[in-house]
Structure 1
Amino acid sequence: MTEYPAIASPARTQAILNRYRLSAKKSLGQNFLVDLNILGNIVEAAEITSDDDVIEIGPGIGGLTEQLAKAAHKVLGFEIDENLLPVLQETLAPYDNIEIINEDILKANLPQVVKERFTGHHPLKVVANLPYYITTPIVMNLLAGELEFDAIVVMMQKEVAERLTAVPSTKPYGSLSAIVQEMNNVEISFIVPRTAFIPQPNVDSAIVKLTQKTAKETVPFDEKRFAGFVRGCFMHQRKTLWNNLLGFFGKTDEAKGAITKVLTEVQIDPGARSEQLTIDQFVQLANAFHDNGILN
């Protein structure tokens, strides 16, 4: 069998693009990673072993897919661009532990697909270079779903990574930070410079690793309702928590009385701003509103 250079090597990537007359589609947020060291570091950050099943989102021409296949038990890739299917069929031909599905990850019935394509006897991880324009919907969709992942390791715009990992009373801290961190341990594994891609994006990227928290001091009465509540608390960044709660619950005398009662119970200053609250405080606040029959 002919030995080819790695798919993600600059020369081979360019040769594949030339052969198939491909160019990155801005509409799909396509950028091809051409740094093998970085790909190796992604696989390492995800701690992929031969026992792991891996879901990849947006394989592109197969650069990361190839490196995952070398380390994992099986790789299942979701590729939305049907023009890349024949490319992947050729580039990934040497590997018998890869399956590519032409489907939008946001529209897929992921639990059903996983049940059909995996045995369920292996740890399940998600590893992907996410398109910038739908990073947040994909991450939130994965976290809100029924599946439990051993780890989610994804590349995203550095700015979004900083929001995911932000702490209270800092500029990037917002609803996304609180919602994701309530459920997960979140860390930036490393930064990926824009020079590592063809074509080069306008910003740097970061590899973010999410692992589910196993022990939490406080637990929301309902994860989805909690997420909606936190978004409401951050509805207007420059307004106080009191004003945002009025916007969320309404400005009736009944709502004002209930908000005053709950804030007193949990000992949170109505004049505080949402970005000052810790995740535990948001959980306590949501649970207190629920216990008082206001948030159901």
Structure 2
Amino acid sequence: MHKARKRFGQNFLQDQGIIRQIIRSIAPSPSDHMVEIGPGLGALTEEILDAAGALDAIELDRDLPPILRAKFFRYEDKFRIFEADAMKFDFNSLREDDRPLRVIGNLPYNISTQLIFHLLSHSGDILDMHFMLQKEVVDRLAAQPGEKHYGRLGIMAQYYCQVEPLFIVPPEAFDPVPKVDSAIVRLIPHTTLPYIAKDIKTLEQVVRVAFTQRRKTLRNNLKELISPEKLEQLGIDPSLRPERLALQDFITIADTLTSSETA
């Protein structure tokens, strides 16, 4: 029996009621091209294979693919396993037709934020994403201006996607039992972005710098990028903390910097 490895952040889902609830939320169909990140021992894999047209799995732990290939051998016409690091994987390479990808995964807590940012860079190839994450990460993804968890992750996720928290998964649903609650979240990339930054790298920089010290004001955190006087001209109060600004405000700042660089 394969034992969960701490270095891969493995916690294997084993609660059948939760598994059914997740599958109902995803609702895979025969027309879907599914991608599962970190299938583990295949708790969700078989349910998805029964319903979906194709499933590609990406697994970093080299001991697991042989187990999964043996377990799901009868699905070999629609099941592929890639022994790879999802953080470096080119998800665009999986598309073989005009079907966008539907991505699912029980993401390790230690890499979940970086992996979500990596996936957002492929959002044009993705129909939707369903992730099991530490509850606090889901709270950050969905947070609105002024809320405790509002910050870089939520702002950039909401730039690309509609974020919908679905339900909480208790620790006892896993083996080994983690020390935190988990939650399922649905991310649906916007077909048309509600707000478009002139340069996405500049927007990412502004958001990252603004939140380097959450307790400080925009005047302090953004002083190397933009003056307080310029912020006031944009209708933004430089004495505010960064969590008071909406996505549109960050785009306004970023677009001003982009325009000044190209002028």
- Counterpart mapping for 1:77-226 below 5 A: 77-96=57-76, 97-112=78-93, 114-115=94-95, 119-145=96-122, 147-226=124-203
Distance 1:233 1:149, change over 3 A: same
Equivalent-residue separation in structure 2 for 1:224 and 1:67 (angstroms):
39
- Equivalent pair of 1:218/1:284 in contact (CA under 8 Å): no
Say which SS state the counterpart of residue 236 (structure 1) adopts.
coil
- Equivalent pair of 2:206/2:253 in contact (CA under 8 Å): no
Equivalent-residue separation in structure 2 for 1:108 and 1:205 (angstroms):
25
Provide the residue aligned with 1:70 in structure 2: 50
Any idea what the Cα deviations from partners look like across 1:257-287, whole Å, max 9, x if unmatched?
A: xx522x1232011101100001111112211
Larger Rg: 1
Which amino acid in 2 is paired with 1:175? Answer: R
Equivalent-residue separation in structure 1 for 2:192 and 2:84 (angstroms):
35
Say which SS state the counterpart of residue 89 (structure 2) adopts.
coil
> Larger deviation: 89-98 or 156-165?
89-98
Say which SS state the counterpart of residue 81 (structure 1) adopts.
coil
**Across the two proteins, how many residue pairs are aligned to each other?**
262
Which ranges of structure 1 fall in alignment gaps of 5 or more residues? 1-16, 250-254
Query: What displacement does 1:235 show?
Result: 1.1
Say which SS state the counterpart of residue 170 (structure 1) adopts.
coil
Provide the residue aligned with 2:229 in structure 1: 260
Any idea what the Cα deviations from partners look like across 1:76-131, whole Å, max 9, x if unmatched?
A: 0011111112211221123232111111111223323x14xxx3143311011111
Equivalent-residue separation in structure 2 for 1:153 and 1:224 (angstroms):
26
1:45 aligns with 2:25: yes
Which amino acid in 2 is paired with 1:276? Answer: R
Q: TM-score, normalised by structure 2?
A: 0.94
Identity in percent: 37
Equivalent-residue separation in structure 1 for 2:161 and 2:232 (angstroms):
29
Query: Which of 24, 43, 46 is 2:4 aligned to?
Result: 24
Query: What displacement does 1:215 show?
Result: 4.0
Find runs of 4+ consecutive structure 1 residues off by over 6 angstroms: none
Equivalent-residue separation in structure 2 for 1:151 and 1:216 (angstroms):
15
Q: CA RMSD in A?
A: 1.8
- Equivalent pair of 1:61/1:91 in contact (CA under 8 Å): no
Which ranges of structure 2 fall in alignment gaps of 5 or more residues? none
Query: Which of 238, 248, 254 is 1:286 aligned to?
Result: 254
Q: TM-score, normalised by structure 1?
A: 0.84
Query: What displacement does 1:37 show?
Result: 2.4
